[in-house]
Amino acid sequence: MSSKRTILVGLAGQQNSGKSTIFNMLTGANQHIANYPGVTVDKKVGSYRDSAGRVEVVDLPGTYSLTSFSLEERVTRDFLRNEKPDAVVNVLDTSQLKRSLYLTFQLLEMGMPLVLACNMVDVAEARGMALDANVLSSALGVSVVTTVGRKGAGKADLRDVIRTTASRESGAETPRTVVAYDELEPHIAAVEKRLNEASGLALIVPPRWLALKLLEGDSEAAGILEASHSDAAGVLTLVRSLATSFEEEMDISPADHIVSCRDELASQIVAACMTQEKSKRASLSEKVDRFVLNRALAPFVLVLSVYCIYELSIVQGYELTKFTWPALAWLRETVASLLPFPGLLEDSLLRSLVLWMVDSANTLLNYVPIFFILFALIAILEDSGYMARIAFILDRIFHSFGLHGQSTLPFILGGVFAGGCAVPGVMATKGIPDERSRLATILTVPYMNCLAKVPLYTLLVNIYFAAHKSWAMLFISTITIIMALIIAKFLTSVVLRGKETAPFVMEMPTYHLPTVLGVLRRSVDRTWQYIKKVGTIVVAVSVCVFFLLQFPGVPEEHMADYRGRIDEAMTEFRADVAALGETPYLQLVQGEGLEDLVIVYDEYRAARLGGGSNVNEEFEATYPEFYPLIARSGDAAAKKINRMLRGLSNTRKTIRREIRSEQIANSFFGRLGRLLEPVTHFAGFDWKVNIALISSFAARESSVATLGAIFQEGADEGATLEQRMASESNSEGRTPLGALALIIFFALYPPCLATTIMVKVQTGSYKWMLFSIMFPTVLGLAVSSVVFTGGSVLGLSGVEAMGVFYGAALILAVALAFVPDPAWNAPKTTYVEQS
Amino acid sequence: MFWNRHRHGKGRRCSILSPAETAGCPVCGEFQPLSTVGKGCRCRIRRHRAHGAVRQRLMDMGFVPNTEIEVVRVATLGDPMEIRVGDSFVTLRKREADQIEIFAA
């Protein structure tokens, strides 16, 4: 029976069994990634058509078994139970056949319509193993297909078998192997008999499977029982007494007995269907590991590979942005030219809002080449198998602070050596199996020195620590990792105390050569996710920030003053033009015409700076009457007017800038800055710094830009921001100590908008996103207040305070490493304790 | 707590007691844990003392009683250790290895 209908296929298998390559092989390009509802586990869905109709394939999370101990296992099990797929493809690593069969047995016991895909037969053959698929098929009573996912071998066979298995009548199945549990069988039968009393239960789950799960002491099995059986408590009592008597009799718990029976059967099946020629030769992976994981050499290999990642993605990626930035700048110009013309002093709301949004998006899109390279390199590290080895080398250090060996990469991407970005860092936490460590990593990655923090550091160090520049930079680049470890320890032992932790039991995969297509697909996927998710939300939030910085705006009487100033300048200009005598341009600058002339003049200069190829031709065609004046191409009079025009344009710019800074000071954000002064003055921040800090929440780069907008005086004389801030700070009583407090606050500063959104995506909850904003704010303010107020009271200089703070943090970190992890003493869930 | 735990031959190379000997360890009466043997050691798993997720995970990875295992290497900082189980290589923290009782192969 093969009707034209869509069937649902689940793809199950262990990690590193080549499940993803089989998924790609089956579905080709027709796939997408989502999240399972409520959890952060990836859900890959794809589909293809065969002669009989459409086949929808779901790539289930990689699992070693179907217990309820980890999120992945629960997700897989719930999918199989609730969605009831028409066929389940169990992908096996042929070279690890025995261990792979444990999962196969569990799938059989769940009554799944199973297809076995024995993958990587080429690897097995290379190791001198030969599999007889027919023997395996008859031993298990299911169809077996041999495949080589990387080369696409076995695709047609697998598709055929999926279709026939899915369309088979459920009653007409071939007899299947059932694992015999010997001494446990009477107990299983007794429980099964009680379960069969509930009429509807067999429709939900196979009773034998549930009986086994109950005897194993599986925590979710009791839940299934309660939902479907009227006398759940009675059954549980029976199960508990049976399990206790079995354990007393056999000196082994039912769960262990079940595993060893499966193990024995797996050994028998492997012996029957697999022939292996004994080779004493160490595999290539082992040889490589003797060098790469050598106790003495491993750290050097690690540092070298990290350096390569850093060099290739961050450094070379920035080289690439030289090519992409002009494209983004062109995009901005194009958008700007479509918008209403700028006003003389104030632009229309539409124009400034749209340009603000484009600028926000551009800042983030500028990172795309860097991310693309980064993601490709990470995919190579993951596929090759080195990522697991990094975790192996560094686990000891991270574990002392409640983190995980696999936290290394997120920290590196976040910018351990000044110059990363927290967004890919937070994204890279996806692979950490330990939920508690993963959350702690997500929440501490933003403390690293992202590239956008560097400008403010440089500015402050240049002004206040010029004499101790290298010490200050060393302080900044190492204090962040020290603080991150301290905070991670705090989070894991206090805030995340109750979160699920996983044992560090990880398979060391054999080295594989990554496929170009696989790496490309993964990096394109992840980059696109970044563009899509971050892009949409950032644009939305940037609108909010825009309004908070824009409104309520400059009071009308001040605007009148500004207008008066520009009118005065224009009147002066007109008089100067008139003084030149009778020129053809006099008419042009009378009345409204002059406003347009000034605007067009500024547009022309901006376009020339933008470096368009035919700026002159365009402006000549569009503004034939203005062109001689703006392009300095006319007669002597036009040249004189052009020079005067430059003065007028500068006046316009000055006034616009003043309006802008008054707007910021008067905006909701500005008021907030002043409102916060009573709190922040303990840390030595005044309202100007407050605004800069608040606005840098949207993107760190804006901290320096905002400071530039606020510290205006002297800008026209060509003084650098350093000089301006230094001169103002002297008059306002700023000290290096205050700068140190600011540096520390900035190091502990909450993640930027894009990162907080990524935190939301990776944790799947707004609660953690809010926490990631609130906690660092409070902590940063507290620490910098202690440094500033404490330093002032003790009369320490900036450098002295820096040294004291550094020493204290280092001692605290080392001390914390010895504090035992609360999870170590957590009550162990045992079979008997479960009620 | 890791500083006050009794260790049988800390950081030792191969020094595995036979089943009869381990049964009566004079100091604590416990069996010998996997965490006490060094690089290159081959031994067999007697039983797990871990519960729940750790036990299940170890079983899934092939740490089934009576299986022969070999300590391949220990990480630079002395913590996770790499164990060969059959044809696969598995890394464990000392803390988990402490929960596995072994005897001479």
pLDDT reading at A171 higher than 60: no
Which chain B residue's Cα is nearest to A70? B53
Chain B interface mutation, best of A386, A505, A821, highest count of B Cβ atoms under 10 Å: A505
Among A184-193, A555-564, A717-726, B91-100, the least confident range: A717-726
N-terminal to C-terminal alpha carbon distance within chain A: 47
Average of per-residue pLDDT across A498-527: 82
pLDDT at B105: 67
Q: Which of the four pLDDT bands, split at 50, 70 and 90, describes residue A155?
A: confident
**Nearest beta carbon to residue B57 from set A392, A503, A825:** A503
pLDDT digits (tens, 9 = 90+) for A95-135: 888 888 989 999 988 888 889 999 888 888 887 888 898 99
User: Is the pLDDT higher at B53 or at A85?
Assistant: A85
CB-CB under 8 Å, B2 with A506: no
User: Could you give the CA distance from residue A834 to residue A575 in angstroms, rounded to a whole number?
Assistant: 94
Chain B residues in contact with A67 (beta carbon < 8 A)? 56
Name residue A783's amino acid: V
| Cβ distance of A504 and B91 shorter than 8 Å | yes
Report ipTM for this prediction. 0.82
Q: What residues of A are in contact with residue B2 (Cβ under 8 Å)?
A: 820, 824
| Min Cα separation A412/chain B (Å) | 20
Whether pTM > 0.95 for this model: the answer is no
Distance CA A748, CA A446 (A): 8
Q: Which residue of A has its CA nearest to B1?
A: A820
- The answer on pLDDT for A29 being more than 80 is no
Q: Of the given ranges (A359-363, A388-392, A531-535, A554-558), which has the lowest mean pLDDT? A: A531-535
For residue range A756-799, what is the model confidence (pLDDT) as tens digits?
888 888 887 889 999 999 999 999 999 999 999 998 888 888 88
User: For the packed helices A535-550 and A636-666, what is the interaxial angle rounded to 10 degrees?
Assistant: 90
The structure tokens 């109950």 sit at A214
Is it the case that residue A812 has pLDDT exceeding 90? yes
Contact by Cβ (8 Å): A485, A811 = no
What would the pLDDT profile of A532-555 be if each residue is shown by its tens digit? 766 776 677 778 878 887 778 777
Average pLDDT rounded to a whole number, residues A676-702: 78
Q: Which pLDDT belongs to residue A198? A: 75
CB B36 within 8 A of CB B81: no
pLDDT at B50: 77
| Residue B55, min C-alpha distance to chain A (Å) | 9
Task: Tell me the average pLDDT across A328-351.
Answer: 78
User: Rounded mean pLDDT of chain A?
Assistant: 81
Chain A residues with a Cβ under 8 Å from any Cβ in chain B: 64-65, 67, 69-70, 95-96, 98-99, 102, 255-256, 259-260, 263, 289, 293, 295-296, 298-299, 388, 391-393, 395-397, 399, 405, 502-508, 820, 824-825, 828-831
pLDDT given at position B15: 65
Q: Check CB contact under 8 Å for A505 and B89.
A: no
At A395, is the secondary structure helix, strand, or coil? helix
Model confidence band, residue B17 (pLDDT cutoffs 50, 70, 90): low
pLDDT-derived band at A727, boundaries 50, 70, 90:
low
CA gap B47, B44 in Å, rounded: 9
Of A255, A388, A504, the CB nearest to B93: A504
Q: Which amino acid is at A73?
A: E
**What is the pLDDT confidence band of residue A831, given thresholds at 50, 70 and 90?**
very low
Chain A residue closest to B58 (CA)? Answer: A505
Task: Locate A269 and state its tokens.
Answer: 């099946």
Q: How many CB pairs lie under 8 A apart between chains A and B?
A: 121
Query: CA-to-CA distance for A138 and A53, rounded, in angstroms?
Result: 29
3-state DSSP assignment of residue A684: coil
| Nearest Cα to Cα of residue A63 among A107, A114, A22, A21 | A107
Name which of B48, B61, B96 is nearest A507 (Cβ-Cβ): B61
Of B73, B76, B96, the CB nearest to A505: B96
Nearest Cα of chain B lies from the Cα of A501 at a distance, in angstroms, of: 10
Sequence-distant (6+) residues with CB within 8 A of A497 are A822
- Give Dmax (Cα) for chain A: 118
Of B51, B62, B96, nearest to A828 by CB-CB distance is B51
* pLDDT band (50, 70, 90) for residue A805: very high
A230 CB-contact burial (10 Å; exposed 0-12 / middle 13-18 / buried 19+): exposed
Query: Residue A90 has what pLDDT?
Result: 93
Mean pLDDT, range A276-300, rounded to an integer: 82
Highest average pLDDT, of A199-208, A369-378, A768-777, comes from A768-777
Percentage with pLDDT > 90 across chain A: 9
pLDDT tops 50 at residue A828: no
| Pick from A3-7, A480-484, A672-676, B87-91: least confident | A3-7
Q: What is the reported pLDDT for A534?
A: 64
Give the model confidence (pLDDT) of A437-474 as tens digits. Answer: 999 999 999 898 887 787 788 888 888 888 888 888 88
Among the ranges given (A245-249, A253-257, A768-772), the one the predictor scored with the smallest mean pLDDT: A253-257
The 10s digit of each residue's pLDDT in A600-654 is 777 777 776 666 667 777 777 777 767 766 776 667 767 777 777 777 777 777 7
Q: What is the pLDDT of residue A117?
A: 92
Choice among A183-187, A409-413, A434-438, B50-54 with the minimum mean pLDDT: B50-54
Q: Is A494 exposed, middle or buried (0-12, 13-18, 19+ CB in 10 A)?
A: exposed
Confidence (pLDDT) at A502: 75
Nearest by CB: B76 against A64, A393, A504: A393
pLDDT > 70 in chain A, percent: 87
Contact B64 A399 (CB under 8 A): no
pLDDT of res. A634? 65
Pick from A73-87, A354-368, A679-693, A751-765 the range whose average pLDDT is largest: A73-87
Query: If pLDDT is split at 50, 70 and 90, which confidence band does A829 have?
Result: very low
- For residue A751, the 8-state DSSP code is P
Average pLDDT on A131-154 reads 87
Q: DSSP per residue over A85-141, as a string? A: -SEEEEEEEGGGHHHHHHHHHHHHHTT--EEEEEE-HHHHHHTTEEE-HHHHHHHHT
